[in-house]
Chain A
């Protein structure tokens, strides 16, 4: 039984290995009650280490995992995505500390699962095979199911976890069936082999299998990015989940699914463009419309942010049509900015909720401008950025996105996107109006005492980043462009 063992490059999956080990270390240390207070800081340290590993590998460019089958590849695209996920996780940990303590969910498992989720996202981003993609997706999803339901005594948290679990399992089923069809068509699960089948001569039956496979994959991924008509879970889950988890869910998991979408649609399925471009453009416009219009009438902040995140997913879908490096780069850029913005917005809620009653509705924000000037300023910056008002990063992100779209010849889509982005001004600015122009009816519970330093650090960092990128976007844009350069 002498089998030739494959040559493997552990180096190629080093970021993922470091992340998984980090999570396991956190899990084990978390078992000791005396280290309880230190776990978040340990998590931050380990996340930083994995970030350093990923940065060191930038530009060493594409290295497949093994010579037998690539499964995963180390390229700048995956690494940049991993860095975005790690940054998101760092911010999430920072805003979690006080929130988790107040709700007594500050257990080792919480932070461990958070890091496991990041490792799953990173696997998805680096995958070049449907197998590893699916496993990464499940690593991410299962961690998220548990994180959403982490507040066992909270009915909303349980409800959210159950909803996300049931629909997520269903979406996984769709993805698996799609993968089965793609395997049937090409005889392999590797992206490259599928792309080769697409490039070659295809019989009608193979064509049908490929189309069916792509369609089912899109359903599954569409669920993860809450694309209309697969968006219905989003508000309920965001509302029920612990606020930092909702922040992580709305940024990280969505970003991971988008990264996969860019890889799949850009380098595997260009051969089916005639079929998926009309489909995606209709769905993207619908997503933007539904997200923005329904957000107008929301008074619960988490639900408002949920619909806003649906709308943003719609914007990010648009440049896929352009099928250009500019388009992909603009999505990566948008993802980075979006991560900072959404974590900022949810972070404000998390920091406020850590003191006493949860901060949930617009009324809770009334008078925040005079009560908590710094926090209100952060929230205002974030809201301006989400709305896309200069000089914030949100403006630059939208600018690049729509210009890529116009260059790709989709002027009408750009116009629709811009129109709805105008509509969104109303509900984003309404938040600012409530903070600065409405006095609080009664002094809320969070008014007394100081807010957590770590949370405030995270929020100030993201607000500063948003402003900085808004003024000097070129560095980040270069990074995004470099990332998509390595895509075939």
Chain B
């Protein structure tokens, strides 16, 4: 049963990402990317990581991709012009294959009964909100705080870059 679910999500994810790259209509690309996100969320769910799965949907499918869609609709982008990246394409394939190599090797070594590196806090309650919250407030306290600063900077930056003129007075 689990295997079938895994195969389903994995095939959908891979097929949608391949289709996304081959697709020339940007709106379809966005939709296929959402498919990828959702099927990856399904894979997370199978790993008992409910929180991550839902966050994946809320953040990527629900927020980021909507903005993508929004921009594409506003700019009314049509088909992408081909032929600009003639040399880059084979290079990209090569590079992707190279990047895939270490991961594949790692997976193969597990299949052969290799040692599994310890992950943060496995065991009971793994992937539940409580455990993630605890980790965020203990082990990862500092990164969370820095991320808050980072978001503040991003907001300030967005306002600075989009504000028209120097000072706007009143309404």
Judged by CB atoms under 8 Å, the answer to whether A and B touch is yes
* Residues of chain A at the chain B interface (Cβ within 8 Å): 1, 3-6, 8, 13, 20, 24, 27, 33, 65-66, 68-69, 71-72, 104, 107, 109, 112-113, 116, 119, 123, 129, 131-132, 135-136, 138-139, 142-143, 145-146, 149-150, 152, 161, 177, 181, 184-188, 203-206, 208-209, 211-213, 216
B108-126 contacts to A, CB under 8 A, are 108-109, 114-115, 117-120
User: B141 is contacted by which of A6, A136, A187, A208 (Cβ under 8 Å)?
Assistant: A6
Q: How far is the CB of A150 from chain B (nearest CB, A)?
A: 7
B153 touches A187 (CB 8 A): no
By DSSP majority rule, is chain B's interface helix, strand, loop, or mixed? Answer: helix
Q: How far is the CA of A150 from the CA of B159 in the complex (A)?
A: 11
B157 touches A135 (CB 8 A): no
User: B146 is contacted by which of A136, A150, A205, A208 (Cβ under 8 Å)?
Assistant: A136
Interface size class of B (residues with CB under 8 A): 35 or more
Between-chain CB contacts (< 8 Å), 7 pairs: A138-B150, A146-B153, A146-B157, A184-B103, A187-B119, A188-B117, A208-B102
Q: Which B residue's beta carbon lies closest to that of A106? A: B166
Q: Which B residue's beta carbon lies closest to that of A210? A: B102
User: B156 is contacted by which of A109, A132, A203 (Cβ under 8 Å)?
Assistant: A109
Known contacts A6-B139, A146-B156; 16 additional CB pairs below 8 A are A20-B149, A24-B152, A33-B167, A66-B141, A104-B166, A116-B153, A132-B146, A135-B147, A146-B161, A181-B102, A184-B103, A203-B114, A205-B102, A209-B103, A209-B105, A211-B102
Known: A187-B118, A205-B108. A65 touches B142 (CB 8 A): yes
* Residues of chain B at the chain A interface (Cβ within 8 Å): 99, 101-103, 105-106, 108-109, 114-115, 117-120, 130, 134, 137-143, 146-147, 149-150, 152-154, 156-157, 159-161, 163, 166-167
User: A135 is contacted by which of B99, B130, B150, B163 (Cβ under 8 Å)?
Assistant: B150
| A66: chain B residues within 8 A (beta carbon) | 141-142
Known: A135-B150, A139-B150. A8 touches B156 (CB 8 A): no
Chain A-chain B contacts (Cβ-Cβ < 8 Å), number: 118
Q: How far is the CA of A428 from the CA of B14 in the complex (A)?
A: 54
Q: Which A residue's beta carbon lies closest to that of B143? A: A131
User: B160 is contacted by which of A104, A123, A146 (Cβ under 8 Å)?
Assistant: A146
A203 touches B157 (CB 8 A): no
Q: How far is the CA of A186 from the CA of B115 in the complex (A)?
A: 11
Q: How far is the CA of A41 from the CA of B156 in the complex (A)?
A: 21
| A177: chain B residues within 8 A (beta carbon) | 99
B106 touches A184 (CB 8 A): yes
User: B153 is contacted by which of A71, A139, A150 (Cβ under 8 Å)?
Assistant: A139
Q: How far is the CA of A208 from the CA of B108 in the complex (A)?
A: 12
A8 touches B141 (CB 8 A): yes
Give me the 8 closest cross-chain CB pairs, A-B, nearest first: A187-B117, A205-B109, A146-B157, A212-B102, A205-B105, A135-B146, A208-B102, A71-B142
| A212: chain B residues within 8 A (beta carbon) | 99, 101-102
User: B138 is contacted by which of A5, A13, A216 (Cβ under 8 Å)?
Assistant: A5
B118 touches A123 (CB 8 A): no
Q: How far is the CA of A135 from the CA of B149 in the complex (A)?
A: 9
A150 touches B160 (CB 8 A): yes
User: A142 is contacted by which of B114, B154, B166 (Cβ under 8 Å)?
Assistant: B154
Known: A68-B139, A104-B166, A116-B149. A208 touches B101 (CB 8 A): yes
B141 touches A139 (CB 8 A): no
| A146: chain B residues within 8 A (beta carbon) | 153, 156-157, 160-161
Q: How far is the CA of A206 from the CA of B152 in the complex (A)?
A: 38
| A204: chain B residues within 8 A (beta carbon) | 105, 109
Q: How far is the CB of B74 from chain A (nearest CB, A)?
A: 18
Q: How far is the CB of B46 from chain A (nearest CB, A)?
A: 19
Known: A113-B153, A142-B153. A209 touches B102 (CB 8 A): yes
| A206: chain B residues within 8 A (beta carbon) | 106, 109
| B115: chain A residues within 8 A (beta carbon) | 203
| B137: chain A residues within 8 A (beta carbon) | 3, 5
Known: A145-B157, A203-B109. A71 touches B138 (CB 8 A): no
A6 touches B138 (CB 8 A): yes
| A3: chain B residues within 8 A (beta carbon) | 134, 137-138
| A132: chain B residues within 8 A (beta carbon) | 142-143, 146
A119 touches B156 (CB 8 A): no
